[in-house]
Amino acid sequence: MPGAPFPGAATAPAAELASQTSFRVCADPANAPMSVKDGSGFENRIAELFAAKLDRPLEYTWFPQTTGFIRKTLRAFACDVVIGYAQGDQLVQNTNHYYSSAYVIVTLAGGPLDGVDRISDPRLLGHRIGVTESSPPVNHMLHAGLLKTAAYYPLFVDRRVQDPAGDMLRDLHAGKIDAAILWGPIGGPAVKADPSLTMAPLLHEVGQPKLVYRITMGVRPADQAWKRQLNSLIRRNQAEIDAILRDSGVPLIDDEGTALKPPA
């Protein structure tokens, strides 16, 4: 469960070690549109907001978000917070969630699949659908009979040298696939930047796994006071966080996971 000790925690210092003089963020340097070393990602903007609210300088520890990311950053005490982390992951202790989003289906605007908003839509049968391997939508595609013609893109990659989401959208434009299923915080900003694309959140699928997820910040299990401080910052600055996410094109979902979150 979230907050349970991570493997090897017995060798870690018992006292909290979150910095009191700087806002130290663990981040992937090439995980656009979330985090980017040049500061252009929406998680970078949220980190800047929190650093300003704390009146502390913002410092980054950069590491690709592949195997070993948490072990070599947060658990190594090189930094104190991961700005975006799915609720329930056991490698970190989660703060309260600060947004919910969903997987989306991206199609060409005005194309034959424009308006499709569920994987079970029979209009998808026989079409080649791009999807990230081992991601939750794959199970739903199996039940919908779409896997025989699916195009798979890798999940765990070093995004400094590979760009699976970009490859998927380039293949959509080239006609190599007919639709792309992406995590909303990746697909939403891409669609906002490209008017030839359209998307729909996948909010109507039945069964498991779920396709709507709550996103938190990740901290070390021992850092209880730090977690409470971050929870307070999230609560007091939710409107500004939402504004950053909406401006970036992230589809925000209500806490029930059934509809887009209405503007405040």
- Does the reported pTM lie above 0.85? yes
Instruction: Please state, rounded to an integer, the average pLDDT across all residues of the chain.
Output: 93
At 231 the three-state DSSP class reads helix
pLDDT in tens, 64-83: 998 899 999 999 999 999 99
Structure tokens at 228: 């409470």
What are the domain boundaries of the chain? 23-98+214-253, 101-201
- Give the CATH class of 101-201: alpha beta
| pLDDT (average), residues 173-179 | 98
Q: How many CB atoms sit inside 10 A of residue 77's CB?
A: 15
pLDDT in tens, 18-74: 999 999 999 999 999 999 999 999 999 999 999 999 999 999 999 999 889 999 999
**pLDDT band for position 10 (50/70/90)?**
very low
Assess whether pLDDT exceeds 50 at residue 7. Answer: no
Fold of 23-98+214-253: D-Maltodextrin-Binding Protein; domain 2 (3.40.190)
pLDDT in tens, 71-122: 999 999 999 999 999 998 788 999 999 999 999 999 999 999 999 999 999 9
Determine contact, residues 117/202, Cβ cutoff 8 Å: yes
Q: What percent of the chain has pLDDT over 70?
A: 94
Rg (CA), the chain: 19
**pLDDT band for position 11 (50/70/90)?**
very low
Assess whether pLDDT exceeds 70 at residue 14. Answer: no
Q: What is the maximal distance between C-alpha atoms in the chain?
A: 58
